Amino acid sequence: MDLVAALARSWALEVVRLDYVPKGFGSYHWFTESFGHRYFLTVDDLDTKPWLGESRDTTFDGLKSAYGATLTLHRHGNLSFIVAPIPQLDDGTALRLSERYALTVFPFVSGESGVWGEPIGKSDRQKLLRRLAELHRSTPAVASRAPRHDLAVPGRPGLESALDDLVRPWTAGPLSEQARHILATHAETVHEWLDSFDHLVGLVERAGGPSVITHGEPHPGNLIRSDGGLLLVDWDTMGLAPPERDLWMLDDGSSGALAPYTEVSGRLVDDTALSLFRLAWILSDISVYTALFRSDHRSNQDTEKSLRALSDSLEGATSPPYGV
pTM: 0.90
Judge whether 190 lies within some domain: yes
Map residue 45 onto helix, strand or coil: strand
Residues 135 and 53 in one domain: no
Judge whether 62 lies within some domain: yes
User: pLDDT class for 320, splitting at 50, 70, 90?
Assistant: low
Three-state SS for 129-162 is HHHHHHHHHCHHHCCCCCCECCCCCCCHHHHHHH
The total number of structural domains in the chain stands at 2
User: pLDDT class for 324, splitting at 50, 70, 90?
Assistant: very low
Beta strand segments in 150-201, E: none
Cβ neighbours of 304 (radius 10 Å): 13
Judge whether 113 lies within some domain: no
Judge whether 154 lies within some domain: yes
pLDDT score of 122: 87
Residues 236 and 298 in one domain: yes
Residues 88 and 211 in one domain: no
Q: Is a pLDDT exceeding 70 seen at residue 316? A: no
pLDDT score of 17: 85
pLDDT score of 243: 98
pLDDT score of 300: 92
Q: Which H or E run contains 67?
A: helix 56-76
Q: Are 222 and 234 in contact (CB under 8 A)?
A: yes
Name the percent of the chain lying above pLDDT 70: 96
Q: How far apart are CA 149 and CA 213, in angstroms?
A: 10
Q: Is a pLDDT exceeding 50 seen at residue 200? A: yes
- Orientation angle between helical segments 156-163 and 271-293, nearest 10 degrees: 60
User: pLDDT tens-digit profile of 236-248?
Assistant: 999 999 999 999 9
Q: Is a pLDDT exceeding 60 seen at residue 107? A: yes
Q: How far apart are CA 167 and CA 183, in angstroms?
A: 11
User: pLDDT tens-digit profile of 248-268?
Assistant: 999 988 888 999 999 999 999
Cα dist. 112→37, 39, 86, 192, 223 in Å?
Answer: 19, 16, 21, 40, 8
